[in-house]
Structure 1
Amino acid sequence: FHSGFLWWGDVFKNYGAKLTAIKDKPTAINLKGQNVYIIVDPDTKKETTAPNFMDKTSIENIKNWVNAGGTLVLMANDTANCEIPKFNELSKSFGIAFTGKSRNMVQGTQWHQGLVDIKAGNQIFKNTQKVYVKELVTLQLSGKAYPIIEEGGDVIMAATIFGKGRVFVIGDPWLYNEYVDGRRIPKEYQNYQAAKDLAKWVLSK
C-alpha cells in the first residue's frame, strides 16, 4: 500500500478516469482507445528475472499512438535503479533524453536535499509551489521539447507536443504512495497537490 501508486490512481479516478494496466508490450491494438499511457521505472535484469525492455517496435507503436492524440507520461529513476539506455530510446524519439546525471541525492531524512521549487505560473503545476523529488535523473532537450521545471541549470521535468499528442517526462517515479500520502515526508512538500495538478493536465485534452 505504501510503495505503489494507489493514491495517484485514486486522483485519476476522482477526475473521472478509468484505469487499465497494459501488461504486454504496447501495440496498436492494446493502445487503441486509451487516452493516457504511463510508463514508470523500467526494471533492470538485476531487479527482475525477465524484464520487458523497450524495443524498436514498441517505440514505433507508442509514437504512432501519441501522434494520433495520446498523452504519454514517462517516469524513470536514478541510474542505479532503472533501465535507462533502452528506455532512453523512447524518450529521445520525442526530443527528451535522460542524461545519466543524478541529482537530489538525499541523505537519510535530510528532506531539504530533495526540494524542488515550482515558480508561479507553471503551466502544469498551477497550484503547487514546493515538492520533494529525490535521486532523479536530469533531462536534455532537443527539437520542440521544452522544460516544465528547471533548477540549477538542470532540467527536472519536460514536455513536448508530438503530432496531435503530448509527452511529459521526469527522471523519477516521484508520485508513488510514500511521497503523496502524507506519512513520510514533511507536510510542507506538496507532492499530493502536484499529483492532482499533473493528473488534471494529463486528462485535459
Structure 2
Amino acid sequence: MKLKVTIITLLVNAGLVASAQTVTLDYYFNHEVHKNAEGQPVRFHYLWTDKENTGFSIFGDAFTTAGAKLDTLNQAPTTDNLKDAAIYIIVDPDSKKESPSPNYIQPNDVEQIAKWVKKGGILLLMANDSANVELPHFNTLAAKFGMHFNNDLQNHVIDDAHFEDGAVKTTGNPVFKTAGKIFMKDVCSISTSGTAVPVLKNNNGATIIASAKYGKGTVVAVGDPWLYNEYTNGRLPAGYENDKAADDIVQWLLQQISNK
C-alpha cells in the first residue's frame, strides 16, 4: 500500500495525473425560449443537452470524449463563477428578435471576462451572420482582444443544392489536423488587430476564425455557431468533415490550456 501511494504521489507531482478540465457554456447571453409541443416555454438552441439539430450535444460529446467535463453558466460571468472553468464558450448572444429581454454584454462583463482570460482562461466566441446575432455589444467584448465581427455575410448558401457556396478547405491548416473540407454557412467575417491573427480564411480571403493571446490566456473567435448538431451529425454531403472539425477544434482548445 505504501508503495502504491508513493507512486501516485510521484505521478501527481510530475504532472502525469490531471483532473478533467471544465468547459463552461454560456446560457445567459444566449437564452432563447420557444414553446414545446405542450405549449410550455422551454430553452432551446446551442444546449449541451439538446440532441436535435439545434443542439450542441455532439460538440459536447467531443469534449467529454477528450476527457473534459461540461458545465453551464446561467448568470452574468464573473471571475468568481468562472474560476473553475478552463474554457468558456459564448455563442450567438440574443437580440430582441430572439428574446424580449436580452442580456446584452455590458462593460463590467467585458472586464470580468478579460480578467479571467488574463489569468489563463480559454475563451471561445461564436457569432453568426448579422441578421441572427446581437453584434454591437458582442463586439465590445471581441474588441478587448483585438477582434471585430463584421456586419457582412460570407459563404451565403441559398439552399441545399448550393452546398459548395459554404465549402472551406482546411487541408494543411495547423488547427484542423484531420478535417480537410468543412461547411460554414452564412457567417460573418472577422477583422483583427494587435495580437489577434487569422486562423482560417474562406475562399474569398475573408477571416472566419481568428485567435489572440491575452495574458496567460487565449481567445478564439468564429464567425458562426457552425458546430451545432445540424452540421456535425452526418447529414452533409460526402466530402464535408464538420464532425472531424469538431474534434480538431476541441483538441486545439484543450491544447491551449496546456500551453498557457
Shorter-chain TM-score: which interval? Answer: over 0.9
Instruction: Kindly report which structure 2 residues correspond to 1:56-71, keeping only aligned pairs within 5 A, or say none.
Output: 56-71=107-122
Letter of the 1:46 partner, please give it.
K
Q: Residue 24 in 1 paired to residue 68 in 2?
A: no
TM-score (norm 2): 0.76
1:175 match? 227
User: Matched residue of 2:211: which SS?
Assistant: strand
Query: For 1:54 and 1:187, how far apart are their aligned partners in 2?
Result: 39
* Unaligned runs of at least 5 residues, structure 1: none
Q: Distance in 2 between matches of 1:179 and 1:49?
A: 28
Q: Which has the higher contact order (CA 8 A, sep 6+)?
A: 1
Pairs within 5 Å for 1:121-200: 122-151=173-202, 152-183=204-235, 185-200=236-251
In the superposition, the TM-score normalised over structure 1's length comes to 0.97
Matches within 5 A, 1:42-57: 42-57=93-108
Number of residue pairs matched by the alignment:
203
Mapped partners of 1:55, 1:192: distance in 2: 34
Q: Distance in 1 between matches of 2:154 and 2:148?
A: 15
SS state at 1:39 partner:
strand
Shift in Å at residue 32 of structure 1? 0.6
Tell me the CA shift for residue 187 of structure 1: 2.8
The SS at the match of 1:20 is strand
Closer, same or farther: CA 153–2 of 1 in aligned 2, 3 Å: closer
Which residue identity does 1:180 align to in structure 2? T
Kindly state the Cα deviation for residue 103 of structure 1 after the two structures are TM-superposed.
Answer: 1.0
Computing the radius of gyration from Cα coordinates, the structure with the larger value is 2
Identity %: 43
